[in-house]
Amino acid sequence: MTSSITHKAGWIIIDPWTILKDGFIQVESGKIENIGQGRVPMESGRLIDHGPGAIMPVMVNAHTHLDLSALKNRTICDDGFIGWVKSVIQHRNALPKDSLLSSASESIRDLLDTGTLFIGDISSLGITNQIFLDSELKGILFQEQIGLNGNLNGCAHITPFKKISVSGHAPHTTSPSLLTQIKQHTRQFGLPFSIHLAESQQEVDFLATGKGQWLDLLQDRGIDTSRWNLKSDSPVQYADTLELLDEKTIAVHLIHSSDNDFDILSEKGVNVCACPRSNMKLHGHLPQLSRMIDMGMQPCLGTDSLASNDSLSMFDEMKFTAEAFPDISPENILAMATVYGSVALGIGSIAGSLHPGKNASFLYVPLEANDSATLLEELIHEGHKKKVKLIHHDRS
């Protein structure tokens, strides 16, 4: 008797560049065993025919903040970046822990319902660790450090699919000595390191002069920056001088970056994560995604938090990105939400595509098309309207 299960559909999207019509996926012991096209082999075990739509990789949300979910529709997004930061602090501090946890749990359900299984979650309060570990979500929870002193305990490989790491919030909020310690700590454990970088003009100005509105905010919060030795040409160059940049670093946002910055990031093999909807809502600016791709970079996508976005759906993020950057191909848009995100989180060997040997988790999306090009267009622009089905064999 065979224990394998075969999933059949009108289309199999193995990865954004490899699509089979009338295909099937054979699953054995929680892993993809084989992928084929046409007639399903007699010895394929139990057969599940999902219909004429597409089976595709699960979504990877490489940057979000579950512990800010309760702030949806509460923060002020049209009063500048510092105004938004102040409103986040005010509303977050005013809400009880139970409300924060309840909203985070609801966000986890929404992520799964909209096809996201792998996340890079930034936890600044340290209260969402257990609900992440207890959930079906996989990926990495980053314990975020701000200010002068941090807690570097807790890094761990909980399961092959769930890890806890630490991250520095940003170069304008976390002391250089602490950022260096955090990066060294993640290197020791072989874990990814995440940092918000080049997100706002206030950040750029502060790192260049050590002065300005951002300094006032830090001083109000009791953070002494007198020994930070700033005056850097750019946030990316500043991070480079602190030796924060390598192939296990995820640099998030990069709205205010130049070709020289992109050269540095490319040379160091840094993973870049963009959050276009959040960037537009909060800053009125977008990162130079087209330029990044032209320079050989492979940016991934995140939603950021509900404090600066309307949803955590990666289908919503893909649609917005495709409309904002019409010169970027549907293949690249889909890759940003799957392949590139899995690489950034260090899980490319188990997620991001449907090649044999990878984790047997995938989506069925009820779309119909006559050719693969139309299929991708429909997936990117209309997928957010569809009720996706998460097919999840390995729940470890």
Determine the pLDDT at residue 395: 55
Structural contact between residues 358 and 46, judged by C-beta atoms closer than 8 angstroms: no
Residues 156 and 235 in one domain: yes
Average confidence (pLDDT) per 10 residues, the chain, 396 residues: 82 98 94 92 84 98 97 88 92 95 98 98 93 96 92 87 95 95 96 97 94 90 89 95 97 97 97 98 96 96 97 98 98 98 96 95 96 97 96 74
Residues 273 and 330 in one domain: yes
Residues 112 and 127 in one domain: yes
Residue-wise pLDDT for 148-198, tens only, equals: 888 898 888 888 899 999 999 999 999 999 999 999 999 999 999 999 999
Residues 26 and 148 in one domain: no
Rounded Cα distance between 300 and 157, Å, is 23
Residues 133 and 90 in one domain: yes
Query: What is the largest distance, in Å, between two alpha-carbon atoms of the chain?
Result: 72
Residues 43 and 26 in one domain: yes
How many domains would you assign to the chain? 2
Residues 225 and 142 in one domain: yes
Determine the pLDDT at residue 396: 56
Residues 156 and 105 in one domain: yes
What is the domain extent for residue 223? 59-344
Structural contact between residues 25 and 50, judged by C-beta atoms closer than 8 angstroms: no
CATH of residue 37's domain is 2.30.40.10
Q: At 14, phi and psi to the nearest 5?
A: -70, -45
Residues 225 and 267 in one domain: yes
Rounded Cα distance between 164 and 329, Å, is 34
Burial 182-210 (b: 16+ CB within 10 A, else e): bbebbeeeebbbbbbbbbbbbbbbbbbeb
Residues 183 and 265 in one domain: yes
Residues 166 and 305 in one domain: yes
Residues 234 and 287 in one domain: yes
CATH of residue 250's domain is 3.20.20.140
Determine the pLDDT at residue 1: 37
Structural contact between residues 178 and 209, judged by C-beta atoms closer than 8 angstroms: no
Pairing, β 54-57 against β 361-365: antiparallel
Determine the pLDDT at residue 150: 86
Give Cα 197 distance to the centre of its chain.
Answer: 14
